Amino acid sequence: MKRSKSEQTGPWLKTSYANLIRYVPSGTYFARIRIQGKLIVKSLKTDAISVAKLRLGDLEKGERQNVELRAAAVMGKMTFGDCLKLYSDRRKADPTFKPKTKEYYEYRTKALLKSWPGLQEQDVRKITKTDCLDWAARFRTGVSPSSFNHTIVLLRHVIEVGIEAGARYDNPARFIKASAARTTQLRLPEPDQFAAFVKEVESDGKGYCRHSANLVRFLAYGGFRIHEARNIKWSDVDSKRRKIVVRGDPTTGLKGRRSGEVREVPMIPEMYDLVERLRPDRPDDHADSLVMRVRECQKAMDRAAKVVGMERITHHDLRHLFATRCIESGVDIPTVSRWLGHRDGGALAMRTYGHLRDQHSTAMAQQVSFQKTIAGESVAPKPTLSVKP
């Protein structure tokens, strides 16, 4: 049913749902809520009305709780638990947080409260710098640097909620220093070893062994994350342009990207051969059929690694293998970074893959010479004589 022009005010279009409007130029839905006389207009970051309706309820609940907690802060009754609840509600309602990220921060929240007894009931105004440093000294020794640093971020964000509400004016958690991340040495198979490894996965004898081997190849030849590989369809494979479109999870999209964003990964020769071999073998597949027939194959990989005598590797290690092979083949790190979906210009890739393995490094060293080369022959430079006056 078409809406009358009277329902559209400038670029804004009313919907049949209370507090839900649409910005016509982009198609994005917005929440329009009035709480205690204050008008709040916030983007719901979706152009799907079914998703917008779900997010609207969460956002409205969060905004109303925000107002209530500010009132509590004015009365001097704001605990760390009050701030934590508001922060958690905001995070749950925020569409930019992926489900796994939300789950991870729930886990970190439990770790924080368990390691700091009584924190939840403590008046947020009375949390001191000393309290934060004492907790950090205890907590740091029992967790990884990554877990420690993420928990610090959580603590700071929660106290920041109290600052926003006017319960206090500074953040004592800012004095906690982050732990230095540990550098993990990648132990990846050499080409011959990888070929034997894939062959062993394929000859497992179980019903899905061929599909498992194809997943190993697909991950290694494309550098995909496992959840990205699971969702690639035949319609995403462009053999003419030799590119694969990566969309990620149908609901949450790609890691670190907005919903709907995609990236393209060029096919290396082995990837092209793989998809060209698979497609004719599946005459019943249609454009929306998934390229991979299995979602994971870790057990098969673990068994194969033991048989061929190599270090255990994971699905994500195959992404590392792809990046390492690319760099060793001469592809520059910023380009590899784009293929992997990084958005930092290659900084993360440089830290992770800039080392190159010993064997490759030694081979490259043999190409370095201090002699000049003329017409393909090495000529030692003539010594320069200095004559004193």
Distances (CA, A) of 128 to 134, 260, 292, 293, 320: 10, 44, 53, 55, 43
pTM: 0.63
Q: Report the pLDDT value the prediction gives residue 384, as an integer from 0 to 100.
A: 52
Q: Report the pLDDT value the prediction gives residue 380, as an integer from 0 to 100.
A: 56
Q: Are residues 271 and 158 in the same domain?
A: no
**Domain's final residue, options 182, 204, 239:** 182
Spell out a b/e string for 285-324, using b for 16 or more CB atoms within 10 Å of the CB, else e: eeeeeebbebebbeebbeebbeebebeebebebbbbbbbb
CATH classification of the domain holding 150: 1.10.150.130
Q: Does 163 reside within a domain?
A: yes
Distances (CA, A) of 372 to 323, 366, 368, 378: 33, 15, 11, 6
Strands 243-246 and 263-266: antiparallel
Nearest to 232 by CA among 219, 241, 213: 219
Q: Are residues 217 and 352 in the same domain?
A: yes
Dihedral (CA of 127, 132, 133, 134) sign: positive
Distances (CA, A) of 210 to 39, 196, 205, 226, 361: 59, 14, 9, 17, 34
> Which range of residues forms the domain containing residue 85?
76-182
Asked whether the beta carbons of 218 and 277 are under 8 A apart, the reply is: no
Q: Are residues 168 and 195 in the same domain?
A: no
Q: Are residues 110 and 249 in the same domain?
A: no
Q: Are residues 176 and 213 in the same domain?
A: no
d(CA 109, CA 89): 13
Residue 109 structure tokens: 């929240």
Q: How many domains does the chain have?
A: 2
Q: Are residues 251 and 337 in the same domain?
A: yes
Residues of the chain under the 70 pLDDT cut: 1-7, 66-76, 96, 183-184, 256-259, 346, 351, 354-364, 372-389
Angle between helix 209-222 and helix 191-202 axes, rounded to 10 deg = 150
Amino acid at the residue 323: A
Q: Are residues 157 and 203 in the same domain?
A: no
Length of the chain: 389
d(CA 29, CA 52): 6
Eight-class DSSP state of 79 = B
Q: Are residues 202 and 165 in the same domain?
A: no
Inter-residue long-range contacts of 252-258, CB under 8 Å, 24+ positions, other chains counted: 252/98, 252/99, 254/228, 254/341, 255/98, 255/225, 255/341, 256/341, 256/343, 257/341, 257/343, 258/45, 258/96
Distances (CA, A) of 225 to 87, 118, 209: 30, 40, 20
CA geometry: angle 282, 284, 288, nearest 5 deg: 95
Q: Give, for 243, the enclosing helix (H) or strand (E).
A: strand 243-246
Q: Are residues 165 and 251 in the same domain?
A: no
153 Ramachandran zone, left/alpha/beta (phi>0; psi -120 to 50): alpha
Burial (0-12, 13-18, 19+ Cβ within 10 Å), 28: middle
pLDDT in tens, 321-363: 999 888 888 888 889 899 998 877 767 777 677 655 455 666 6
Q: Are residues 267 and 332 in the same domain?
A: yes
Q: Using only the alpha carbons of the chain, give its radius of gyration.
A: 28
Q: Does 13 reside within a domain?
A: no
Asked whether the beta carbons of 218 and 229 are under 8 A apart, the reply is: yes
Q: Are residues 167 and 219 in the same domain?
A: no
Eight-class DSSP state of 14 = E
Q: Report the pLDDT value the prediction gives residue 68, as an integer from 0 to 100.
A: 65
CATH classification of the domain holding 256: 1.10.443.10
Residue 184 structure tokens: 């993990």
Q: Are residues 141 and 216 in the same domain?
A: no
